[in-house]
A = this chain, B = another copy of it.
Amino acid sequence: MDTPNAAPSRADQLALLTQAGPGTEMGRLLRMFWHPVALSRDLQPGEAIPVKALGEELTLYRGESGTPYLVGGRCRHRQTLLHTGWIQGEKIRCIYHGWQFDGSGQCVQRPAEKEARVPPNCRIPGYPVHEYCGMVFAYLGEGEPPGFELPRKDVFEAPGVLIAVTKETWKINWFQQIENSLDAVHVSFVHQALRVGPFGDAVTTMMPDLSYTENEAGIEQVAVRADDNIRKSDWTFPNNNHVVVPGLQKGDPWIDFGIWMVPQDDEHSTRFTIYAMAPGDEPANERFRAYFRKFGGYNADEHYDELFHQRKGPSEEDFLAGLISAQDYIAQRGQGVVADRRQEMLGKSDLGVVTLRRVFWRELDALRNGRPTKHWRKRAEPLTLPTQPGRSRQGTPAPVEEPAS
């Protein structure tokens, strides 16, 4: 692009959506928001793990007090991975020569330098973190982070609510996951593949009427298949979707399903999912807990060959979280690691995808041209997501019948 800030070509515009590393336009935009970077349970006090988000290598550690800290991935000194070192109190010390950093990334000790004071310019990145519902969120942008409001949902905070969280890293660009979340049609096909779980069963193969409405938090998606078959998604900018899925057994409460799709780098993205169930009777509660104890570790990406070449899905008993992931994975990973959108042919039913891209391009355009981006904020009135009466489980998938043309 020779002219500064010239409108990007179609191919460049498509590329903007998929590149989220430091210094990219999407990278700048995404850095204005909180993102989950780890599950709380994967980080014990006094431990450090490497995490990768928005193209950055990072060290996440929990001080001995239990407080989590997110700092750069490598020591300022000679670039060794910092997570292999030691936590002492609330600080982390490099394995190589013992340089010690506090949770803001400031180096506070360089033992072999025998100096009175570490110079202030000896530091690595440090980012604010916030734990919520068993996930560690971080703000990777500059300056003060926004208040921790946009990721919150009343249903995740309801009294007595049961929460389970999962995490899957896939070899796939993040934007394929985002597009899928505003693509109501796919449910009728993708979630009939391998076998029909309660989610696919609740939706049926009827083709929906679609509407997409932007609001203060994101985009509301409505797919009407019949008077008693209306599915809504409460999508929050830039990368969260919130839907409801049937419970584990007829009669169990429906489950709120909140999913963040976070770029790790441009070829890998991580799905962080909250499953929240309003408390039911004790057997229903125990079913929920037992299910996630047993199946909460499924990662479709570890089953590529089974899913793509053997048509073998997760265990028969893992008919909810694992099955939905496996189905989505086949559809999205099937597009390639980074889908070649120059080859695509969109139709009217891709309204969600088109709406989504327009919103992103509008925001990126504002950023590029120095105009303010939209102030996204938590919905004033929470959206109630309708549950369906549900249908009897079908024995075999029956994708759309031939229409009477």
A235 at the interface (CB under 8 A from B): no
| Choice from B96, B109, B122 contacting A345 with Cβ under 8 Å | B122
Q: 0/1 per residue, A93-134, Cβ < 8 Å to B?
A: 111111000000000011111101100001000000000000
CB pair B334–A109 under 8 Å, yes or no, is: no
CB pair B400–A111 under 8 Å, yes or no, is: yes
Most interface-central of A111, A331, A348 (chain B CB within 10 A): A111
Q: 0/1 per residue, A52-82, Cβ < 8 Å to B?
A: 0000000000000000000000101111110
CB pair B207–A114 under 8 Å, yes or no, is: yes
CB pair B79–A336 under 8 Å, yes or no, is: yes
CB pair A112–B349 under 8 Å, yes or no, is: yes
Q: 0/1 per residue, A320-364, Cβ < 8 Å to B?
A: 000000000011001110011101111111100000000000000
CB closest residue in chain B, given A339:
B79
**How many copies of this chain does one complex carry?**
3
A84 at the interface (CB under 8 A from B): yes
- Nearest chain B CB to A77's CB is how many angstroms away? 6
C-alpha spacing A345/B111, complex, angstroms:
15
Q: Provide the main secondary structure of the chain A interface.
A: loop
- Nearest chain B CB to A299's CB is how many angstroms away? 15
- A96/B400 contact (C-beta < 8 A), A84-B330, A405-B116 known: no
- A207/B308 contact (C-beta < 8 A), A84-B334, A397-B86 known: no
- Nearest chain B CB to A47's CB is how many angstroms away? 9
CB closest residue in chain B, given A307:
B84
A297 at the interface (CB under 8 A from B): no
Q: 0/1 per residue, A246-264, Cβ < 8 Å to B?
A: 0000000000000000000
CB closest residue in chain B, given A397:
B86
| Choice from B112, B188, B405 contacting A185 with Cβ under 8 Å | B112
- Nearest chain B CB to A354's CB is how many angstroms away? 12
CB pair A330–B95 under 8 Å, yes or no, is: yes
Interface size class of A (residues with CB under 8 A): 35 or more
- A97/B397 contact (C-beta < 8 A), A339-B78, A340-B79 known: no
CB pair B110–A347 under 8 Å, yes or no, is: yes
| Residues in B neighbouring A74, C-beta threshold 8 A | 335, 343
C-alpha spacing A402/B336, complex, angstroms:
51
A399 at the interface (CB under 8 A from B): yes
A395 at the interface (CB under 8 A from B): no
CB pair B344–A98 under 8 Å, yes or no, is: no
CB pair B80–A331 under 8 Å, yes or no, is: yes
CB pair A207–B112 under 8 Å, yes or no, is: yes
- Nearest chain B CB to A40's CB is how many angstroms away? 18
| Residues in B neighbouring A208, C-beta threshold 8 A | 112
- A343/B185 contact (C-beta < 8 A), A112-B208, A334-B96 known: no
Q: 0/1 per residue, A25-61, Cβ < 8 Å to B?
A: 0000000000000000000000001100000000000
CB pair A109–B399 under 8 Å, yes or no, is: no
- A109/B349 contact (C-beta < 8 A), A95-B334, A186-B97, A397-B86 known: no
CB closest residue in chain B, given A327:
B95
A189 at the interface (CB under 8 A from B): yes
| Choice from B78, B117, B193 contacting A344 with Cβ under 8 Å | B78
- A113/B79 contact (C-beta < 8 A), A93-B399, A186-B97 known: no
CB pair B97–A335 under 8 Å, yes or no, is: no
Question: Which 8 A-B pairs give the minimum distances between C-beta atoms?
Answer: A112-B349, A81-B334, A80-B334, A112-B185, A111-B400, A98-B189, A96-B331, A113-B347
A-B contact pairs, 25 of them (CB 8 A): A49-B309, A50-B308, A50-B309, A74-B343, A76-B345, A78-B339, A79-B335, A79-B340, A79-B341, A79-B343, A80-B335, A84-B334, A93-B399, A95-B189, A95-B334, A96-B189, A96-B331, A97-B349, A98-B189, A109-B403, A111-B188, A111-B400, A113-B349, A114-B207, A122-B345
